[in-house]
Amino acid sequence: MPVSNSRDTILIERRYAAVFSTLTDESIVKLAGAVEEKLRDALAKVLALPAGAFTEPATLAPKIREAMKERRSYLDTGVLFGEGATERAIELLGDQSDDPSLEDLQLVIPALVETFGLDAVRLMAVQYSVSLGGFRKLVLTDDRFKIPSAPVTTTRGATGNSTVDAAAQDEKRRARAERKEKDRLDRAKAEAQRRAAYGRI
């Protein structure tokens, strides 16, 4: 399955942060422990955590949350946590893996969830939720995979999450929409003036 291009990175990073905010400490420890041996050095590097941190499950989840927040490494961590599910999905999808439909995904998801757990499959879905149509439909239509609507900043522990002010986020979205509409009208006006100028020549 292809990876999203760079212009989608910020959106995917935000989606990973939102999904991570819904995971329990227990789930994060389990996901970290399931990372293949060959990828553990990469995970430690992404999070800037010593190898010893991964042998201390009681404190591991808070350390991972804090590292993801400080290093803005939600995306890299999410990809690594979901890598096992991704590789297996590619095998199961076969020729359809480059651009699976929603129906293709629905056929393989039960086996993936059974083997890797729902949270690992959720993280896999986030990775392709912008670049591939089947995954876009999945996160929009399946409640298990929907991206939390309110962006969340992750702090410490399963109960240590602080939700970004929803009203402020709504205001930002409204302001962005107004700017886009103004830009569109300005471009249309400029195009009309240009056409009128050419018509006078």
- pLDDT exceeds cutoff 60 at 4: no
Q: What pTM did the predictor assign?
A: 0.71
How confident is the model over 160-172, as pLDDT tens digits?
Answer: 343 344 455 555 6
Task: Tell me how many helices (H) and strands (E) the chain has.
Answer: 10, 2
Q: Which residues contact 155 (CB under 8 A, 6 or more apart)?
A: 65, 66, 69, 161, 162
What is the average pLDDT score of the chain? 84
CA dihedral sign, ordered 35, 36, 42, 45: positive
- Nearest CA-CA partner of 79 in 39, 41, 123, 109: 123
The pLDDT of 166-189, averaged and rounded, is: 66
For the stretch 73-93, pLDDT in tens is: 999 999 999 999 999 999 999
Q: Of all residues in the chain, what percent carry a pLDDT higher than 70?
A: 79
- With 80 as the cut, is the pLDDT of residue 145 above it? yes
Question: CB count, 10 Å around CB of 17?
Answer: 21
